Amino acid sequence: MNKRALQRLSRRSFLASSLRAALFGSCAASSAALAQQTPWRNWSGGLQCQPAGRYDITSENQLADILQSTNGPVRPVGSGHSFSPLVPTDGHLVVIDQLRGILDYDNDTMQATFGAGSRLGDLGAPLAEIGQGMLNLPDIDRQTVAGATATGTHGTGIQFKSLSGYITALRLITPQGEVMDLDASDGDLFDAARVNVGALGVVTQIRMQNREAYKLKKREWTAPTEELLAEFDERAANHRHFEIFPLVYSDYSLALQIDESDEPIGQTIIPAEEVELSNLRRPGLQATPAEKLALNNALAENAEMTEAVDLSYKLLSNIRTNPFNEMEYSVPAEVGADCVREILRTIYDQAIEVAFPLEFRYVSPEDPWLSMAYGDEPHATISIHRTASEDFRPYFDIIEPIFWKYGGRPHWGKIHSLGHDQLSELYPHYRDFMEIRESLDPEGRMLNDHLRKLFNA
Amino acid sequence: MNFFDSVLDPRYFRFQMKILRPFLLILLLLPLAVGCSTASRDSSSAQAFSAAVVDQEVMGKWARSCALCHVDGVADAPVVGDTEEWRRRLEQGEDVVMRNVLEGYNSMPPLGYCMACEISDFRAMIAFMAGTNQ
């Protein structure tokens, strides 16, 4: 990249080029001959297994028959978007993406029942056609409803629960092939099943609370991180969604604010005044943290602001095409900003080679037992990412203890190293969940190595 | 019925023919146009994919996975029916193409979002998208 090109960098191209730089060492293809059997791999490619059986489920009856007629481990899989090893098994892999679509809906209650294998991104348009919209969505739209809810996946907004918090009923096929229809009247079982890490059986239908279809207006801009952290609570309270992406080796963050809107669908880009960058050295592998900071700050000051109005499902969720691995923890909202500051400072002080920004947002308190926002107080969630082609462990190993220091709870679908002893201290109903798990699956058919570590089973 | 359901309907195959029609002439002329200039592994690779069976089950899997990107060209994915682009990909040989599918390539995740697919399914899907099963 020459100086002239560098001078023209906008925020968007700055972020994209940062990601591309991280990809330069792109993954070398394995020289091993292809296995005759098809392996399973997750979205980021970091996890793989060779299941003994692979079942493309077409109906609940077929699923129940398979569970009753087979022996050995069973793991359900949605879109394979979990970075934690929830899926890998040498037993039976149960694929549920044919159990999909809107099965039933009621516009008086604004609820709809989905096939649990539906991808979130496939539900927005048909829901809008019947006049409904999901209350919130997570960042990635290709997860299945079952996978997203089983892992407590959430979006942004202090007044919004995770997807699991909006489940009003679900159908669970137990490891014995029995059908259980659960709702709030089932008490503990329902509270356990709404975030179930795929350990209680296979969820085939999920009924969710929605609202009338709506449009949103999104505004993105860059500003000093300290300024955004100082006004975070106020913006989070006064806007439907507010989050920031703190840039590493920078004093700036990308801010994202979303509110309901009746304006026409469209997008506006408001360019920033270009600043002189030619006297800055391009940061390379040998650049010092101070050199990176100077350049990144100048680029962030030079970033444009964008505004877009669109249907809710088109603005709340995204297609992510740069594979990465991610660690995410929730911490009490009142210590969230301090946790972000300590992570940014650690990356700088230890000169950790990373280009991905952090992500910092609030979620509402809720009551599914294994939700990372379980309880009465709002939680902040903080994510760190690493490009899929890079080894995430050195970076994540340094940052993870910072999350623990602030009382962090891990996202079930993302990378963490905690086991039963730590987790049972973090989740008030952890032992209750384990009791229900054992009662539904006494033989441990739904367990793999990772889940055995989580549940001391 | 949305698009992804419609591919399981026989009418989908008429739709398929409609979108492929502009490419059919190219497809018919392709062996004459490139037959002498492409490497032998190109033709052997194409043969491997041309033998694949594209049935309704495979098309159902394709609709729930590959179609997410290969209909609209999301993230520069080669579009179904773009025979020239697919020919360029298949020139790399079957091993490379299949490894890219199984391990992921550029923006395509491993398995291309098809958690239920076996290698034979992937071969058939590529044959369908590349037009080598005609």
Q: How far apart are CA A388 and CA A320, in angstroms?
A: 12
- Residue A301 has what pLDDT? 87
- Tell me the average pLDDT of chain A: 90
Q: Do A95 and B116 touch (CB under 8 A)?
A: yes
* pLDDT > 60? residue B42: no
Mean pLDDT of the region A331-353:
97
Taking contacts as CB-CB distances below 8 angstroms, the residues of chain A near B100 are 29
Q: How far apart are CA B59 and CA A242, in angstroms?
A: 41
- Residue B132 has what pLDDT? 86
Q: How far apart are CA A153 and CA A145, in angstroms?
A: 10
Mean pLDDT check: name the lowest of A50-54, A127-131, A164-168, A446-450.
Answer: A50-54
Pick among B99, B115, B123 to test the A interface (most A CBs inside 10 A): B115
Mean pLDDT of the region A419-437:
98
Pick among A26, A56, A92, A143 to test the B interface (most B CBs inside 10 A): A56
Q: Do A38 and B119 touch (CB under 8 A)?
A: yes
- Residue A49 has what pLDDT? 96
Query: b/e for A142-173, b at 16 or more Cβ within 10 A?
Result: bbbbbbbbbbbbbbbbbebbbbbbbbbbbbbb
- Residue A282 has what pLDDT? 55
Taking contacts as CB-CB distances below 8 angstroms, the residues of chain B near A88 are none
Q: Does B93 touch chain A (CB under 8 A)?
A: no
- Residue A321 has what pLDDT? 83
Mean pLDDT check: name the lowest of A5-19, A377-391, B52-66, B98-112.
Answer: A5-19
Query: b/e for A413-446, b at 16 or more Cβ within 10 A?
Result: bbbbebebeebbebbebbeebbebbeebbeebbb
Q: How far apart are CA A329 and CA A331, in angstroms?
A: 7
Mean pLDDT of the region A310-333:
94
pTM of the complete model beyond 0.95: no
* pLDDT > 70? residue B23: no
List the single residue in B2, B104, B115 with the smallest CB-CB distance to A40. B115
* pLDDT > 50? residue B100: yes
**A94 phi and psi angles, rounded to 5 deg:** -105, 115
Q: Does A45 touch chain B (CB under 8 A)?
A: yes
Local confidence band at B86 (pLDDT 50, 70, 90 cut-offs) = very high
Q: Do A322 and B2 touch (CB under 8 A)?
A: no
* Pair of tokens at residue A260: 């309901």
Closest CA to A331 of A396, A378, A400: A378
- Residue A37 has what pLDDT? 76
Q: Do B115 and A97 touch (CB under 8 A)?
A: yes
Q: Do A39 and B60 touch (CB under 8 A)?
A: no
- Specify the amino acid at residue A327: M
List the single residue in B75, B111, B115 with the smallest CB-CB distance to A321. B75
* pLDDT > 80? residue A290: yes
- Residue B43 has what pLDDT? 53
Q: Where are the alpha helices (DSSP H) in A94-242?
A: 124-129, 145-150, 188-193, 225-230, 232-238
Local confidence band at A285 (pLDDT 50, 70, 90 cut-offs) = low
Q: Do B68 and A44 touch (CB under 8 A)?
A: no
* pLDDT > 90? residue A411: yes
* pLDDT > 50? residue A90: yes
Which DSSP state fits B79?
P
**Is A121 strand, coil or helix?**
helix
> What residue of A is the nearest CA neighbor of B67?
A122
* pLDDT > 60? residue B40: no
